[in-house]
């Protein structure tokens, strides 16, 4: 058999997540429009190129504050920018800043990750899989089936074995998750926790609802609770939030040193106040007097959907991420933008192979699963036209193809 290099070619078909490979990235640009002090739209003036994930959108200057937006990409370029919060007080159009985001940043320091893709397995390198009790797989925020868990608000919980790293011995952490709540907290919904039981036992709990301290205004808060019977009992980083029932939102908390910051849909708490109850100081927001470390001695499992045996979630949870580092404000915002839109996945089962040939010559089509071992597809054939097309099942043939000239 004669192998004519000029007539051989390879075809690669990906049967998993679609990825776009581009050349060097060119930064996109946009222009904001302001009406009556509000940012009402952002026009893309240059879509840029080379984006593999949506860039982070920020606004600078213009005299106002609070405007937020998210970018959407197509074929490696920014296709449009959607204003998600108009802000207020703008006297002129603010400068639009588009910052590229590397998705690898979302895996650095990831010590537990429960994406709930058909099960409660831990997709981090630690593999600390969850055990499901009375929770059921359901649709996620994109409508995909079996991609989130529904909790019944009564006795649903997912537990995972206690590991030393879940007490964050290096002094830093981030917890991020998505929740769709179907009822108001009564009084508090415990999202994720590590506790030795109710009362004055050592614990940490990431919660949404009413903290057990006086607050500046009534309502529900995103916050982080630490109990250390020897030192203090703290409710930290309280962030007012009022999510509509039945809608998905991101909840996150970070700790760096003694600073605790909570986030709701990527926005950090903006107030700092102290409250004292029974001669104990409770930090309400991201102040600098929070405990420097999680109290030692917590031996109970990690719980998702409740803590202390109560505070059960009534609704859905998804994408629980726990890091051993404090994500920055921009990283939390970028994670929110990265996770709040669906991924495009394509499963390729059949492909059409077009072979460009010389009429009257004999050829052999071959396929491979690994580019090392090649097997014939059919028998040698004589080209009767300059282009011959054939539809093939890549599950049977493999993803790679080449055509060899046999004769003359």
In CATH, what number is assigned to the domain containing residue 207?
2.60.120.200
Q: What are phi and psi of 89, to 5 degrees?
A: 80, 10
Say whether both 275 and 332 belong to one domain. Answer: yes
Do the Cβ atoms of 252 and 174 come closer than 8 Å?
A: yes
My answer on whether 157 and 183 are in the same domain is yes
End-to-end CA separation in angstroms for the chain: 10
pLDDT surpasses 50 at 126: yes
Q: Is residue 21 part of a domain?
A: no
Say if CB 49 and CB 22 are below 8 A apart: yes
More confident: 385 or 337: 385
How do residues 146-201 score in pLDDT, each as one tens digit? 999 999 999 999 999 999 999 999 999 999 999 999 999 999 999 999 999 888 88
pLDDT at 346 over 80: no
Last residue of a domain, one of 63, 85, 100: 100
Q: Establish if 24 belongs to a structural domain.
A: no
* Domain finish residue from 79, 100, 121: 100
pLDDT tens digits for range 75-123: 888 888 988 788 889 999 999 988 877 665 789 999 999 999 999 999 9
Distance of alpha carbon 114 from its chain centroid, rounded? 11
Residues 224-251 have a mean pLDDT of 87
* In a shared domain, residues 92 and 199: no
Residue 22 counted as domain residue = no
Which of 45-49, 314-318, 352-356, 370-374 is the least confident region? Answer: 370-374
Point out the domain boundary residue: 40, 75, 100. 100
| Three-class HEC string of the chain | CCCCHHHCCCEECCCCECCCCCCCCECCEEEEEEECCEEEEEEEEECCECCCCCCEEEEECCCCEEEEEEEEEECCEEEEEEEEEEEECCCCCCEEEEECCCHHHHCCCEEEEECCCCCCCCCCCCCCCCEEECCEEECCCCCCCCCEEEEECCCCEEEECCCHHHHCCCCEEEEEEEEEECCCCCCEEEEEEEECCCCCCCEEEEEEECCCCCCCCCCCEEEEEEEECCCEEEEEEEEECCCCCCCEEEEEEEEECCEEEEEECCEECCCCCEEEECCEEEECCCCCCCCCCCCCCCCCCEEECCECCECCCEEEEEEEEEECCCCCHHHHHHHHHHHCCCCCECCCCEEEEEEECCCCCEEEEEEECCCCCCEECCCCEECCCCEEEEEEEHHHHCCEEEEEEEEC
Statement: residue 341 has pLDDT above 80: no
Could you tell me which residues come within 8 angstroms of residue 195 by beta carbon, excluding any fewer than 6 positions away?
201, 202, 203, 204, 205, 227, 298, 300, 303, 307, 308
State residue 286's pLDDT score. 45
Co-location of 264 and 401 in the same domain: no
Check whether 324 has a pLDDT greater than 90.
Answer: yes
Q: Residue 40 is part of which domain span?
A: 29-100
312 has a pLDDT exceeding 70: yes
Q: Predicted confidence band at 288 (pLDDT cuts at 50, 70, 90)?
A: low
Q: Could you tell me if residue 90 is inside a domain?
A: yes
Domain assignment present for 231: yes
What is the C-alpha separation between 378 and 227, in angstroms, rounded? 70
Query: Ranked by mean pLDDT, which of 148-157, 290-299, 399-408 comes out on top?
Result: 148-157
Overall number of domains in the chain: 3
Within 8 A by CB and 6+ apart from 278, the residues are none
67 and 178 in a common domain: no
Instruction: Calculate mean pLDDT across residues 206-213.
Output: 88
Cα–Cα distances in angstroms (integers) from residue 49 to residues 166, 236, 261, in the given order: 40, 42, 34
My answer on whether 82 and 134 are in the same domain is no
Positive/negative CA dihedral, 221, 222, 226, 232: negative
What does the pLDDT read at residue 263? 93
Question: What is the residue-averaged pLDDT of the chain?
Answer: 84
Give the C-alpha separation, 128 to 59, whole Å. 40
pLDDT per residue over 37-66, tens digit each? 999 999 999 988 888 778 888 888 999 888
């Amino acid at each position: 058999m004669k192998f004519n290099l000029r007539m051989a070619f390879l075809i690669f078909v990906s049967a998993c997540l679609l990825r776009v490979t581009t050349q060097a990235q060119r930064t996109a640009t946009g222009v904001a429009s302001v009406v009556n002090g509000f940012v009402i739209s952002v026009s893309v003036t240059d879509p840029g190129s080379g984006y593999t994930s949506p860039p982070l959108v920020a606004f600078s200057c213009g005299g106002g504050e609070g405007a937020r937006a998210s970018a959407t990409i197509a074929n490696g370029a920014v296709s449009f920018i959607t204003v998600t919060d108009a802000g207020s007080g703008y006297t002129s159009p603010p400068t639009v800043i588009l910052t590229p985001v590397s998705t690898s940043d979302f895996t650095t320091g990831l010590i537990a990750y429960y994406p709930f893709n058909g099960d409660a397995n831990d997709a981090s390198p630690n593999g600390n899989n969850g055990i499901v009790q009375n929770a059921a797989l359901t649709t996620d925020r994109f409508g995909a089936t079996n991609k989130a868990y529904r909790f019944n608000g009564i006795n649903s919980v997912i537990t995972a074995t206690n590991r030393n790293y879940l007490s964050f011995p290096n002094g830093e952490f981030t917890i991020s998750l998505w929740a769709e709540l179907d009822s108001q907290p009564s009084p508090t919904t415990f999202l994720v926790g590590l506790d030795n039981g109710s009362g004055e036992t050592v614990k940490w709990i990431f919660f949404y609802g009413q903290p057990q301290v006086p607050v500046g205004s009534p309502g529900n808060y995103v916050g982080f609770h630490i109990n250390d019977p020897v030192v203090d009992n703290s409710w930290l980083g309280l962030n007012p939030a009022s999510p509509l029932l039945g809608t998905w939102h991101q909840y996150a908390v970070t700790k760096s040193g003694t600073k605790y910051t909570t986030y709701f849909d990527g926005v950090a708490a903006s107030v700092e106040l102290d409250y004292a109850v029974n001669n104990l100081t409770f930090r309400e927001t991201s102040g600098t007097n929070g405990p420097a470390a999680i109290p030692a001695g917590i031996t109970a499992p990690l719980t998702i959907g409740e803590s202390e045996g109560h505070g059960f979630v009534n609704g859905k949870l998804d994408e629980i991420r726990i890091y051993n580092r404090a994500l920055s404000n921009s990283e939390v915002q970028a994670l929110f933008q990265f996770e709040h839109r669906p991924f495009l996945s394509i499963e390729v089962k059949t492909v059409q192979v077009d072979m460009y040939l010389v009429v009257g010559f004999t050829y052999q089509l071959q396929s491979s699963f690994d580019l090392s071992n090649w097997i014939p597809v059919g028998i040698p054939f004589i080209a009767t036209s300059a282009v011959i097309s054939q539809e093939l099942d890549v599950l049977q043939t493999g993803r790679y193809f080449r055509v060899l000239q046999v004769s003359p």
